[in-house]
Amino acid sequence: MMISSTLTRRGVVAGMAALGLARPAWPGTPVGLQLSWLHSVQFAGSYIAQDRGWWRESDLDVRLMQGGPNAPVEPPVVAGTALVGISAADYTASAVAQGADFRIIGVAMQKNPFVIASLPANPVRSPADLAGKRIGMAIANTPVLRALCSLNAVDFDAIRIVPTQYSAQPLIAGEVDCLLCWETDLPVAMAVNGVECLTMLMADHGYAVHSQTYIATRDSLSARRKELLALMQGEIRGWNDYRADTDAAARLTLRMFPDAGLDEETQKLQAARQVPLMFSDLTEAQGFGAWDEASVSANIETLAHLGYKVTTDLWDRSILDEIHAR
């Protein structure tokens, strides 16, 4: 009976690991995974997959490509430098409107992480509370606020936008009444520093935009399907293990990126706060990264408020369906 070379390699790797020996460097297929931001626990599921060798088991040599303000996700995916990029439905819709042929093949965050953060003495608990408030935010996010107002029949002109750097200080200092930010960053920074704040999750008030989505070109869904399946299977395993022990995921992040200037307490709290955004009754039923028709319909509606016209064809479940069917 013939044994495949892949299984033989896995057996050797497992045996060497049991003996405490370094794993051999198998010449796997090189692929890039373009992250949407700087290294942090935000991408810890990918770090777990890499650290535990799950991509290597499938003969993939995955390079985690750091993102940031000067490293947009979409161009490397179009160019083929990255097989998959981590983006968001609004960015992908914008790229498609400009001619890119992307498909969303997985949705990591079941709820969009945008929140309105405020202090208990002057709370914003619903969109209606925004009227008359000074909100600190980046001007680039004006369409986001306008869409939230439109979805909730709030007078946008009754809100005063105060351009701010991405910091909690204007809120703490009383220069603004609230902030437009992510649930997992400025509120976490305030909590770590002993400042209590309230967060109104915009996803709970109709702002449905899939975030931390996996995008690939339509061509790669056929031409590089084997690599896509292996990459996404590693991601799924990584994020499921992340959920099981978020503190361990935070420690791994600091160990892998010791020069990233990360604080362990902040990373642990961020890791914990990501869980309810990434896992839901839907992921319990269908697996990590899943979405349903209702969420796609809600996304299409919200994207229309943001000025993007998309159809259900933007989402392609075939990769996830094949993985979860196994």
Tens digit of each residue's pLDDT (9 = 90 or more) over 251-297:
999 999 999 999 999 999 999 999 999 999 999 999 999 999 999 99
Indicate whether 248 pLDDT > 70. Answer: yes
pLDDT per residue as tens digits for the range 180-225? 999 999 999 999 999 999 999 999 999 999 999 999 999 999 999 9
Residue 149 near residue 127, CB atoms below 8 Å? yes
Of 111, 98, 68, residue with least CA distance to 86: 68
| Residue 141 DSSP one-character state | G
- Name the residue ranges covered by the structural domains of the chain: 26-111+209-325, 114-205
Longest alpha-carbon distance in the chain: 76
Q: Are 319 and 213 in contact (CB under 8 A)?
A: no
Topology alike, domains 26-111+209-325 and 114-205 = yes
Mean pLDDT of 138-161: 97
Q: Give the model confidence (pLDDT) of 95-115 as tens digits.
A: 999 999 999 999 999 999 999
Structure confidence at residue 322 as a pLDDT band (50, 70, 90) = very high
User: Which candidate, 172, 42, 157, places its Cα nearest to that of 109?
Assistant: 42
Question: Rounded to whole angstroms, how far apart are CA atoms 319 and 265?
Answer: 36
Q: Does domain 26-111+209-325 have CATH number 3.30.460.10?
A: no
| Amino acid occupying residue 103 | R
Q: Tokens for 133?
A: 């408030």
DSSP 58-122: TTEEEEEE--BTTB-SHHHHHHTS-SEEEEEHHHHHHHHHTT--EEEEEEEESS--EEEEE-TTS
For 114-205, which CATH class?
alpha beta
Say if residues 137 and 146 touch (Cβ distance below 8 Å).
Answer: no
pTM for this predicted structure: 0.90
